[in-house]
Amino acid sequence: MRILFLLAALSSCFAQSPTAERILDRYIEVTGGKDAYAKVKSLSILGTMEIKGQGVKGEMRMYRMDGSKYYTVVDLPGIGKQEDGSNGNVVWDKTVLGPRLKTGVEKFLAICAAGAMSEYGRGALEKDSCYSKAEVIGEEVVDGKTAYKLKMTPKEGKPEEQYYDKESGLLLRTKMVLPSPMGEVPIVAIVNEYRDIDGIKTPVKLTNEMGAVAMVMTFTSVKFNEAIPDAMFALPPEIQALVKAGRK
Amino acid sequence: MKRFVIGVVLSFAAYAQQLETFDAVWKTVADKHWNPKQLEALPGGGSWEGLRESYRQRVQAANGQAEVRSILREMVAKIGKSHYAIAGLELKGTKGMRQGGGTAPGFRVGLVEGKVVVTGLSPGMTSVGMGWELLGVDGMPVIKTIEAAETLQTGLRLHQMLQTQIGGFSGQVVAYDFVTAAGVKKTVRVTIPQGDGSAGFGFVQGMNVQREFALIGKTKDIGYFRLDMFLDVVRVLPQFQKAIEQCAKCRGFVIDLRGNPGGVAVMANAMSGWFIKDSDVKLGTMYQRGVELKFAVIPRLNGFEGPLAILVDGASASTSEIMAGGLQDLKRARIFGTRTAGAALPSIIETLPNGDLFQFAVANYVSESGKELEGVGVKPDVEVAHTLAALRAGKDRPIEATINWIYANPVSTRRP
């Protein structure tokens, strides 16, 4: 009886939650490994964005390059082109509201997401990570799967919660609060589908829920290391004018 | 026997769909209404939860889609707010009322001193005169009263009814029966103009957005931009920018939102940016469940610094009220006309299981000064309405009031 009790106690020790670092490292391992991520210097994505349930769907193109360069354009019928970009130094967007330079926390978080494979290629926190802290704060059932819940604290901005499938190690969803001209917007980003692209299991369908609105992004083409001309990341004339005018 | 079985299966499918449609409407409101506490105490008594079973049973017993639609309309009306609507694919208007197309004929009408009269002319319209009384369209008398007594947004409802009656399809020839300013009966055949392309957003499509830029005033140095709907972002916003650029040396600027029922809300933010200099300025705040969004205005370079007047009336609604109310609260614009509709809630339109469209409000909106616009509207700084005498003399009193104010105030107003 005493021997059985001892064995039960020992097995419960081994069953303790892994550390946040281990969960983040495992995500990298199960999706392709650090070496595979390190080879990706640029990302070109073609797809669609749909405002769910409202009959609005348009083309989306995203380009990412190491050096914090990015450019995204979404063309929604009835609204037109909404653009978002960075030349590695100036971070901006051009939407229905007008052209704008991003500053402060908004700029920091935009740059964080701007690298070719962003944070998720880095595994556990390194000194140049956008996050200062990663903690496991529990487990939760998400979309029928038991997930580790991590609190990720960025160096600027509000903490976010990331949910990793206990069984597969894959990221299932992220809850975050992002700054915007309209104020702080709570967003739940759900990964609906992964696909193997050149040896890296890559999210190819995501749903962003913002209040009563859900936006579904579906990637029909994802290419790594495609040559992207520098002009793709050039500042549009309206943005150059804002920079020249010293606008913030 | 086979036909009977198929009939039973189809009936069951239709019946199941009726209940599915009810459940979709009821649950959407329960889950997405921005303030659950308001659902616990509805304006007419009872709660949203409390009315569920009785309405579900009525839909269960309903005989067809039209009856389901009617029951659901009655149910959502209990919420007591604007921007809740159930729309069928077929138009159903007041009995005996002409159902025209979505394109305006080149003139606008309104109810003035009890008569439906011409209140505005599009550029190039010369066969119709201001102040002419409209009696009928294509042989059908104009209906100018609302069947059910409505104390909410009467001006908006009436305006929509009148526009429906006078509208047509591009290229269609429509006969309008008038009494001219001189008291003479006259029938005018108008070819409905071609628009510059149809516009829409989501399930609202096929709209022909009328807009106009002109220089007005005795020395043609006041910019005037009229917009009849906040849609067609791709064309309207660049045209508005061009109007501002053309008006760099204007003495003042007038935005005419009379009869504008709203549309894409952020167009109000975008257009307002041309009149604002400071950062961190907002028109108001939208309150969704768990989320507050500022209706931020991004200041544009080389915006307009002179006096700004905005024209509104009882049919100016939603985005029109957000823009007029916000700029009024910021003391950037002076508002002229008559009180707006008080229908300012941000809303979404989704498809129901039976194919009908369900529009529902997803947020409350509070203007920058803290006022709720819903049910109240924007009260103009200068209340001025059309009169028959002025219209028949070819005058638009509200526009004249804006011109007089601008000429009397040559110094720029404060530009936040």
CB contact under 8 A, A248 and B279: yes
Minimal-distance CA residue of chain A relative to B297: A97
CB contact under 8 A, A211 and B279: no
Query: Which is higher by pLDDT, B2 or B28?
Result: B28
Flag whether residue B203 sits within 8 Å of chain A, measured between CB atoms.
Answer: yes
Partners of B295 on chain A (C-beta within 8 Å) are 182
Number of domains in chain A: 1
**What token pair was written down for B230?**
């906040």
CB contact under 8 A, A98 and B351: no
CB contact under 8 A, B269 and A212: no
Whether A61 is in a domain gets the answer: yes
Tell me the three-class secondary structure of chain B, residue by residue.
Answer: CHHHHHHHHHHHHHHHHHHHHHHHHHHHHHHHCCCHHHHHCCCCCCCHHHHHHHHHHHHHCCCCHHHHHHHHHHHHHCCCCCCCEEECCCCCCCCCCCCCCCECCCEEEEEECCEEEEEEECCCCCCCCCCCEEEEECCEECCCCCCCCCCCCHHHHHHHHHHHHHCECCCCEEEEEEECCCCCEEEEEEECCCCCCCEEECCEEEECCCEEEEEECCCCCEEEEEECCECCHHHHHHHHHHHHHHCCCCCEEEEECCCCCCECCHHHHHHHHHHCCCCCEEEEEEEECCEEEEEEECCCCCCCCCCEEEEECCCCCCHHHHHHHHHHHCCCEEEEECCCCCCCCCEEEEECCCCCEEEEECCEEEECCCCECCCCCCCCCEECCCCHHHHHCCCCHHHHHHHHHHHHCCCCCCCC
Residue A96 pLDDT: 92
CB contact under 8 A, A181 and B298: yes
DSSP for A37-52, written as a single string: HHT--EEEEEEEEEET
Query: Which is higher by pLDDT, A50 or B196?
Result: A50
* B34 CA: distance to closest CA in chain A (Å): 9
Q: Considering the entire predicted model, what is its pTM?
A: 0.86
CATH of the domain at A43: 2.50.20.10
Positive or negative, the Cα torsion across B360, B362, B368, B373? positive
CB contact under 8 A, A96 and B270: yes
CB contact under 8 A, B296 and A182: yes
Whether A7 is in a domain gets the answer: no
ipTM score: 0.86
Partners of A213 on chain B (C-beta within 8 Å) are 348, 362
Q: Which of B295, B298, B350 to mutate to test the interface with A (most CBs of A within 10 A)?
A: B298
Whether A77 is in a domain gets the answer: yes
- A6: DSSP letter: H
Whether A175 is in a domain gets the answer: yes
Rounded mean pLDDT, A101-118: 83
Exposed/middle/buried for B409, CB within 10 Å: 0-12, 13-18, 19+?
A: middle
Flag whether residue B245 sits within 8 Å of chain A, measured between CB atoms.
Answer: no
Minimal-distance CA residue of chain A relative to B353: A53
Q: In this model, does residue B398 exceed pLDDT 50? A: yes
Partners of B322 on chain A (C-beta within 8 Å) are none
Return the closest-CA partner of residue A107 out of A140, A85, A136, A131: A85
pLDDT tens-digit series, residues B186-213? 999 999 988 766 677 776 666 778 899 9
Residue B416 pLDDT: 60
Among A139-148, B1-10, B133-142, B253-262, where is mean pLDDT lowest?
B1-10
pLDDT tens-digit series, residues B355-384? 888 888 888 899 999 988 888 899 999 999
Whether A5 is in a domain gets the answer: no
Facing B348 at nearest CB: one of A210, A212, A245? A212
Whether A14 is in a domain gets the answer: no
Facing A97 at nearest CB: one of B203, B266, B363? B266
Q: In this model, does residue A125 exceed pLDDT 70? A: no
Flag whether residue A1 sits within 8 Å of chain B, measured between CB atoms.
Answer: no
Contact B216, B255 (CB under 8 A): no
Minimal-distance CA residue of chain B relative to A241: B301
Positive or negative, the Cα torsion across B63, B65, B71, B74? negative
CB contact under 8 A, B300 and A98: yes
Minimal-distance CA residue of chain B relative to A93: B298
Rounded mean pLDDT, B245-250: 94
CA distance B333 to B325: 9
Q: In this model, does residue A119 exceed pLDDT 50? A: no
CB contact under 8 A, A212 and B362: yes
CA distance A82 to A62: 12
pLDDT tens-digit series, residues A166-181? 999 999 999 999 999 8
Backbone angles phi, psi at B391, to 5 degrees: -60, -45
Query: Percentage of chain A with pLDDT > 70?
Result: 88
Q: In this model, does residue B308 exceed pLDDT 90? A: yes
Whether A48 is in a domain gets the answer: yes
Return the closest-CA partner of residue A27 out of A147, A153, A129, A108: A147
Q: How far is CA B344 from the centre of its chain?
A: 10
Domain range for A85 is 19-245
Partners of B203 on chain A (C-beta within 8 Å) are 54-55
